[in-house]
Amino acid sequence: MTGTAFAPSHAAGELRILQLLSSGGWSLYGLAALILFVLFPLLHLVVPVDSPFHLSDYWITLFGKIMCYAIVALAMDLIWGYTGILSLGHGLFFALGGYSMGMYLMRSIGRDGVYQSDLPDFMVFLDWKKYPWYWSFTDHFWYAAALVILVPGLLAFVFGFFAFRSRIKGVYFSIITQALTYAAMLLFFRNDTGFGGNNGFTDFKRVLGFPITAPTTRMALFTVTAATLLGFLLLARWIVTSKLGRVLTAIRDAESRVMFSGYNPLYFKLFIWTLSAVICGIAGALYVPQVGIINPSEMSPANSIEIAIWTAVGGRGTLVGPVFGAVVVNLGKSWFTKALPEYWLFALGLLFILVTLFLPRGLAGLWLSRKRSP
């Protein structure tokens, strides 16, 4: 991986400090910002609908959704690519962020639901008379936004503390995270849990008072998602180029040596694990208003495995790689599920095998080796 790409380089006998991004990196970063913040809104809002250059709602929603996935892949890269801890439960943190935001969106429906009640339709259907206690204050956006961060963050912190303190590693950790998300899925499937059972939350009407399906609202959500993605990309880059980032890769490569050097791996793992979960939660919160639904299937083990596949396809330990991995795989998925729906899982499996065999460093590895041997 790229632990060595961050090595200080000898330039005229002097060691150069690592940069956040190279000048080329900043240009690409600026280009991405230009495309996301200028080109997409222009093509969607300004270019007339009958023009061949017009981007329809479908594409805006699709790209908005894919950017949420890209944020998740970025979070996965921090914990798996850099720290060597494969989580197969990241879908859970994503879903928890989504449900937290979903509670606010459900309350924002007001009396516009089918039953025209103060309560969400599913609660009326269950003959509940009032909101359960844990729905308190969720009609306030900022409270829901705090939940988006606190719920996945606290769960990850507590789970991580005990798992890492017990020195659970490798495949055991992966299996336990997988079981965790599966258990949560079963819990959320129950109607009594109070989160809409297997239907989850849907039929949202508005967000922050704006109609949720209006083109400008869509575009605003798209822009916020893009800004979040680009922001987290810089944050992640800042972390992995810091000394803490070097400790994380050292934990990945030789944990016992890290301990002998005087670091306690527990707190370093806990830090990056919790941060990764919070990033996932935020991605989930951005996902729900754009896609218009959240249900327990987001917590299915298969979803979490898919996250790992995006990361592997893009190239672990490169940050940009997993972002592109998420984009490429999901574009492929949306094409496949329309053209050849029954073959998508085979294609995904094949892709994973091919990447593992021939591109151990993913798409990013392909790019890096091209750059090195011109």
Partner 1 sequence: MAFTKALTVSESAPREQWDDPVASGARVLTSGVDTTHRGILYIEGVSVSFDGFKALNNLSLLVDAGELRCVIGPNGAGKTTMMDVITGKTRPDAGSAFFGQTIDLTRLSEPEIADAGIGRKFQKPTVFERHSVFENLELAMKTDKRVMPTLRARLDGMARDRIMRTLETIKLAGEATRPAGMLSHGQKQWLEIGMLLMQEPQLLLLDEPVAGMSDEEALRSAELFVSLAGKYTLIVVEHDMDFVARIAQKVTVLHEGSVLAEGSMDEIQGNEQVIEVFLGR
Under the criterion CB under 8 A, does residue 305 sit at the interface with partner 1? no
Cβ neighbours of residue 18 closer than 8 Å, sequence gap 6 or more: 6, 8, 241
Distances (CA, A) of 344 to 63, 68, 177, 229, 336: 19, 21, 25, 27, 6
Q: Whole-angstrom Cα distance, residue 198 to residue 51?
A: 40
> Looking at beta carbons only, is 221 or 275 nearer to partner 1?
275
Per-residue contact flags (x/-) with partner 1 for residues 212 to 251, judged by CB under 8 A: ---------------------------x--xxx-xx-xx-
Give the interface segment with partner 1, choosing from 88-96, 139-147, 219-227, 255-263 (CB under 8 A).
255-263
Would residue 302 be called left, alpha or beta, if left means φ above 0 and alpha means ψ between -120 and 50 degrees? alpha
Give the interface segment with partner 1, choosing from 1-9, 45-53, 217-225, 350-358 (CB under 8 A).
1-9
Structure token pair of residue 291: 């896609």
Residue 299 DSSP one-character state:
G
Q: How far is the CB of 124 from partner 1 (least distance, A)?
A: 47
Q: How far is the CB of 276 from partner 1 (least distance, A)?
A: 14
Give the interface segment with partner 1, choosing from 95-103, 163-171, 258-266, 341-349 (CB under 8 A).
258-266
Q: Whole-angstrom Cα distance, residue 241 to residue 18?
A: 7
Alpha helix stretches (DSSP H) within the chain? 23-34, 40-41, 57-76, 90-108, 121-125, 141-165, 170-189, 215-241, 243-253, 255-260, 265-291, 301-314, 320-339, 344-358, 362-372
Structure token pair of residue 136: 């308190």
Per-residue contact flags (x/-) with partner 1 for residues 315 to 354, judged by CB under 8 A: ----------------------------------------
Under the criterion CB under 8 A, does residue 4 sit at the interface with partner 1? yes
According to CB under 8 A, which one of 48, 209, 262, 341 is a site residue for partner 1? 262
| SS3 category, 14 | strand
Under the criterion CB under 8 A, does residue 254 sit at the interface with partner 1? yes
- 53-62: long-range contacts, CB 8 A cutoff, minimum separation 24: 57/215, 57/218, 60/218, 60/219, 60/222, 61/218, 61/290, 61/291, 62/334
Q: How far is the CB of 314 from partner 1 (least distance, A)?
A: 19
> Looking at beta carbons only, is 15 or 49 nearer to partner 1?
15
Distances (CA, A) of 319 to 56, 84, 155, 325: 29, 14, 24, 10
> Looking at beta carbons only, is 48 or 262 nearer to partner 1?
262
Nearest to 309 by CA among 340, 355, 266: 355
Residues that bind partner 1 (rule: CB under 8 A) add up to a total of 31
Q: How far is the CB of 221 from partner 1 (least distance, A)?
A: 31
Under the criterion CB under 8 A, does residue 157 sit at the interface with partner 1? no
Q: Please report how many Cα atoms fall inside a 13 Å half-sphere around the Cα of residue 6, on the Cβ side.
A: 23
Under the criterion CB under 8 A, does residue 154 sit at the interface with partner 1? no
Under the criterion CB under 8 A, does residue 253 sit at the interface with partner 1? yes
According to CB under 8 A, which one of 48, 127, 256, 370 is a site residue for partner 1? 256
> Looking at beta carbons only, is 7 or 38 nearer to partner 1?
7
Per-residue contact flags (x/-) with partner 1 for residues 30 to 49, judged by CB under 8 A: --------------------
- Contact residues for partner 1, defined by CB under 8 A: 1, 3-4, 7-10, 15, 17, 239, 242-244, 246-247, 249-250, 253-254, 256-264, 267-268, 271
